[in-house]
């Protein structure tokens, strides 16, 4: 499925993609990994980082699987559709 938004333009120089189409590039480069870990507040050893890189592709595949063309009104499972009575 390739009808997605491309990798953000502002990141393509620093964190280049292979085709520009994937949401998550299967092979994540070190700088991108460091950024994400820093943002999550996780301190990993070099070994742990290396291991994490190997599973990135699997996760990227999962992220791709849950995406599909949906209208903007498609609610997530938590969304409530309150009836008139509920809002009174």
Contact mark string toward another protein, 23..52, x via CB under 8 A: xx-----------xx-xxxxxx---x--xx
| Helical spans, DSSP H, in 6-66 | 30-40, 46-66
Q: Shortest Cβ distance from residue 35 to another protein (Å)?
A: 9
Residue 72 binds another protein, judged by CB under 8 A: no
Residue 8 binds another protein, judged by CB under 8 A: no
Q: Is 49 left (phi over 0), alpha (psi -120 to 50) or beta?
A: alpha
Q: Shortest Cβ distance from residue 65 to another protein (Å)?
A: 4
Residues 6+ apart with CB under 8 A from 48: none
Q: Pull the structure tokens for residue 80.
A: 């409530």
Q: Which residues bind to another protein, rule: CB under 8 A?
A: 23-24, 36-37, 39-44, 48, 51-52, 55-56, 58-63, 65-68, 70, 74-79
């Amino acid at each position: 499925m390739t009808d997605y938004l491309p990798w953000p333009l502002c990141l393509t120089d620093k964190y280049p993609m292979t085709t520009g189409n994937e949401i998550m590039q299967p092979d994540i480069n070190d700088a991108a990994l460091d950024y994400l870990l820093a943002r999550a507040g996780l301190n990993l050893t070099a070994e742990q980082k290396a291991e994490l890189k190997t599973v990135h592709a699997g996760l990227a595949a999962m992220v791709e699987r849950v995406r599909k063309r949906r209208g903007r009104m498609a609610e997530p499972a938590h969304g409530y559709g309150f009836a008139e009575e509920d809002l009174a």
